[in-house]
Structure 1
C-alpha cells in the first residue's frame, strides 16, 4: 500500500463498452488500488452490474461511476455492451457512447482526478481532460504488435494517404516495421471488419481515426503486454509515436469474488472430473466473436470427427435482438452424447481452463483468452473471427504458441476435417508436442507475480513524475 506521506493518485478509467476491454481495465484498476491509489471506473449502469465483484479490501479504493447510455436510433433497449448486439449494430453502440462526452465532462469536472486512462473508442476524452488540466494516458488492451501494425497516428488519421488505400494493403507487413514478421491480416479477416475502417460506418467515425486521435492526444501510452515477450514491438511504438510507451504486464485474470459456484459450473466440474487428464478440448470464442451457421456446422462435425472429448461454450446469439440464432447439425448432440457437451449459457472460463482434464483450447485468439490459456498451460488451436484476433494469431503462430486451423485465404472457409486434424495435432499427436511444450515455457512471461508487480510500480512512478499539468 502507498506510504501515508506519499501522494495518493486518483485515476479515472474510461474503457470501451466491450467486456474484452472492461475486464483488463478492471484488472489494472485492482492492481493500482492494491498499491493504495484511488480509481474511478466509468461505465454504464448495466455493465457495472455485470462486472466481477472486487474484493472487500479494494472496494473502498475503486469507485464505480455509472453514466446512463443515451438512446440513439437503431440501438435496442438495454444494449450497453458489444455482447448485447449483433455485429452490424456495434457502430450504433459507438454512436451512443460518443454522446457520453457531455455527462463524462461533468463528472470529470468534479472528480479532482490526477489522471485519465482512456480506451480507443472515446477519442474525444483526451481533449476534455486537457481543458481541465488532467493528465491523460491512452491505455490499450490491444497488443503491441496490433498497434505496431496499425501504424503512426498520421497514417491512422489519414494524413498520410500513401498507405492503406484498399483491403489488400492490410494483408502485408507495413513499411514502418523494420524487422521481418508475418504479422498482418489474412484477406478474409480484414474483409470481416472493413466497415469499421471507414468514416462512412454508422458511428460516423472510423476506428482507425479513433485510434489515431487517441494516441496523438495522450501524454503517455500504456499497453497490456510485457517487453520480454515483444520487445521489438515496444521499440517500434516508441519510435513511431514519439512519446513514452510502457507495458502494464499481461494482467493474468484473477478469479471473481463469488458468482462461480453456480449450477452450471457444478455440472461441468462433475463432467470434467470423469474425463482423463489432458484429454478434453475446450471450445469458446469470447463475448463478441460469433461464427456463421456454416462455420458452426463445420466446427461441430470437426469435433465429432476428432473423437476427442470436448466442452463447447456456444453463444447462439449476440444479444436478444440478434435474428440469426445458431443451430447444431441435426442429430449431433445425440451422436456425441457422453463424449462431448455443449453449453449455451454463461460459464466460468478460468475455472474450466484450470481443470486438469482440459488438454487444449480452440479459441478466437482474443488476448484475455490467450493469457488465461497460458496461465493454465493449455495449448492453443486458433480460429479467428473479428477485430485484432488475426494479428494476435500471427504472433502466436510465429512463437509456436498456437496452431491455426487451415482456411481458404480469400473467404476464410474451413472444413470439418481441418478442424479435427488441427485438434488432434495440438492435443495428442507427437508432431504437435512443440505447442504443448511452448505454452508451458511461456507461462513465466505471462504470470510472473514479481514482474507484474514491477510493471505496476513503474507505471505509478511515471504517473507521479508526470502528474503536474
Structure 2
C-alpha cells in the first residue's frame, strides 16, 4: 500500500483532446493533494497537452505508449483531430492494440486504481493484476442515463432498433422529463450507438467498461442533476460518484481547451449563423474554426461582405483564442455554444446565458437538460433534418440577451455561477471521491 495513505492512480482516456483535457483537469486536482498520477497516452498526444505548473510536475507522470501501426491510419495520427471522420475507426483499432503494452505498464507502475472510458478491455485486465478500475465519464449523468443499463449498451434492446426509437424518452426513466433526442441528432449518432460490421460501437465500449469496473465517476454534481445521478445508481449495481463539474483552475492551461473542439458547422449552417448575427444587430466576438484539423479539407468561409457589414460591432477570430478569458470579461452577456460540456462549465462559472446550437454526440442531451432547467435556450430548427434559419438565430440571440421574456435565462445563468464556479463545492466532491478510492483499493501488502 502507498505510504501515508497516498494513492497511485493511472489515467487512460480516449485519444481525443475533448476527453484528455478534462481528464487532465481531474488529474491536476488529485495531484494537488499529494497523490501520484500516471497519465497515459501516445507520444504526440502527451507532447500536445498543456504544460504542467512546476509544483505539479513531480506528482503527474506523463507516460507515452507508442502508437501501434494500423493500415489506413495516417502516419503521426494519434488523436481524432489528426484524421478525417471516416478514419476514426482505424484510430480505435490502434487504441485497442495497446492492451499488451498497457498490461506491462500496469505491472511496472502497480497503481492502486486505473481509470478509463473507451478502453472497454481495461477493467478485465486490471482485475487480473489485482488493480481496482474505474470508469470516468466526461459526459453528464443525463447522457449516460439516457442510454440505459450496461446490458442495453452492450446487447441492445428490442425497443431500440432505429434512430426513431431513440427519440422517445427511454422506459427506464421514470421521473418527469422533457429530455429526448431529436431525429436528426439520433441519425447522426446512430452508428456510435449500434456500430457497423466489425466496429465495436461506442455504446458497447461504455457498457462493457461500466459493467466490469469497480466504480463509476461522473463529471457532475448532485446540486445540478440529482435525478440523473440517482438513475445511474439504479441502473448500475455499483457506486456512482460525482466528482464535481471541474471548473478551470489554471487559466494558462485551460486557454488551450477550445483549440480541440471538434464541432464545425457546414457551409450552409455557417451562412445562417453569420446572417443571424448580422440580423440581430448585437455586438459579438466570434471564434470561428474553418477546419477541424489538418485532415479536414472541407474549408468553410464567411458570406461575402459579412465582415465589412458588421465592422465596428463584430469581430471574427479564425485562429486560436482564449475562450476562458473571453467568457470571464464583464462585457460578455451570453454565449452561443454547441453545448459541449467543457464549454458549458466554462460559461456557467461566469454566469453567462447560453444560446445553444448542437452539432454532435452528447451535445443534444446536454442541450435538452439545460433547456429543461431554463439555463439555456435552443435555437429552433427542423427536427427531421436539423436545418435552421438566420431569423431563428437572430431572434434567439435577442430573446436571451435583450428581451424581458428571456430574463429567466439570464437569471438562471447567474444562479448557476454559484454552483459551477464554487471552489469549495468542487473540493468537497473531490475529497469525497478520494475517500472512496483510499478506502476501497486492494491491500497490496
The TM-score range, normalised by the shorter chain, is: over 0.9
Structure 1 residue 79 displacement after superposition: 2.3
Deviation string 1:39-64 (CA, Å, 9 cap, x unpaired) is: 00111222222222222111110001
Query: Does residue 368 of the first structure (1) align with residue 342 of the second (2)?
Result: yes
The correspondence of residues 220-299 of structure 1 with structure 2, limited to 5 A, is 220-257=215-252, 287-299=261-273
- TM score, norm. by length of structure 1: 0.90
Distance 1:374 1:366 in 2: 12
Other-structure match for 2:16? 18
Distance 1:354 1:256 in 2: 11
Deviation string 1:231-262 (CA, Å, 9 cap, x unpaired) is: 1111111111011101100000123447969x
Distance 2:294 2:310 in 1: 28
Other-structure match for 1:400? 374
- Structure 2 gap segments, 5+ residues each: none
2:196 corresponds to which of 165, 183, 200: 200
Other-structure match for 1:88? 86
Contact 1:286 1:366 in 2 (8 A): no
Query: Does residue 136 of the first structure (1) align with residue 101 of the second (2)?
Result: no
Structure 1 residue 444 displacement after superposition: 1.8
3-state SS, counterpart of residue 308 of structure 1: coil
Q: Provide the alpha-carbon RMSD of the alignment.
A: 1.8
Deviation string 1:166-199 (CA, Å, 9 cap, x unpaired) is: 1111111101011011112111111112222233
Other-structure match for 2:317? 343
Contact 2:251 2:324 in 1 (8 A): no
1:440 corresponds to which of 401, 404, 414: 414
3-state SS, counterpart of residue 282 of structure 2: coil
Say if 1:315 and 1:394 are closer, same or farther in 2 by CA, change over 3 A.
Answer: same
Contact 1:129 1:135 in 2 (8 A): yes
1:359 corresponds to which of 333, 340, 343: 333
Other-structure match for 1:66? 64
Query: Does residue 118 of the first structure (1) align with residue 113 of the second (2)?
Result: no
Other-structure match for 1:152? 149
- TM score, norm. by length of structure 2: 0.95
Count residues in correspondence. Answer: 441
Structure 1 residue 83 displacement after superposition: 2.3
Task: Name the stretch that deviates more: 338-347 or 458-467.
Answer: 338-347
Task: Name the stretch that deviates more: 420-429 or 69-78.
Answer: 69-78
Distance 1:441 1:135 in 2: 38
Contact 2:81 2:260 in 1 (8 A): no
3-state SS, counterpart of residue 223 of structure 2: helix
Say if 1:164 and 1:286 are closer, same or farther in 2 by CA, change over 3 A.
Answer: farther
Structure 1 residue 459 displacement after superposition: 1.0
3-state SS, counterpart of residue 39 of structure 2: strand
Distance 2:86 2:405 in 1: 40
Structure 1 residue 5 displacement after superposition: 6.5
3-state SS, counterpart of residue 25 of structure 1: helix
Other-structure match for 1:165? 161
Say if 1:308 and 1:167 are closer, same or farther in 2 by CA, change over 3 A.
Answer: same
